[in-house]
């Protein structure tokens, strides 16, 4: 398991029973849900960082276009 995710390849999947496959799918979905829930709780700070990044990126693009021609 890397970073909390259950990583399977095709060989692993082919050798699993239907119950094991269902468990793997359930486990992966639960992990994704927990990660998304934690991201959704961070609210306004992430939006502020995204806005600042957009502004800085926009300014850098304008300056780049002016320099390039």
pLDDT tens digits, 6-39 = 678 889 889 999 999 999 899 889 988 988 888 7
Q: By percentage, how much of the chain surpasses pLDDT 90?
A: 43
Residue 3 lies in a domain: no
In a domain, 4, yes or no: no
Report which of residues 52 and 40 the model is more confident about.
52
User: 42 lies in which domain range?
Assistant: 10-68
CB 4 within 8 A of CB 33: no
In a domain, 5, yes or no: no
Average pLDDT of the residues of the chain: 86
Do residues 21 and 13 touch, judged by C-beta distance below 8 A? Answer: yes
Contact between 5 and 24 (Cβ < 8 Å): no
> Which SS3 state, helix, strand or coil, does residue 5 take?
strand
Residue 55 lies in a domain: yes
What pLDDT is attached to residue 2? 52
Closest CA to 4 of 40, 41, 29, 37: 29
Inside any domain, residue 17: yes
Supply the pLDDT for residue 4: 60
User: Residue 44 domain-assigned?
Assistant: yes
Please indicate, yes or no, if residue 1 is contained in any of the structural domains: no
Please list the alpha-helical segments (H only) found in 1-69: 10-14, 18-40, 43-68
Number of domains comprising the chain: 1
């Amino acid at each position: 398991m890397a970073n909390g995710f259950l990583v399977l390849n095709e060989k692993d999947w082919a050798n699993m029973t239907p119950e094991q496959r269902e468990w793997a799918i359930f486990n992966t979905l639960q992990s994704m849900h927990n990660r998304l829930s934690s991201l959704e709780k961070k609210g306004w700070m992430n939006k502020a960082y995204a806005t600042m990044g957009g502004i800085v990126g926009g300014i850098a693009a304008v300056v780049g276009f002016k320099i390039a021609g």
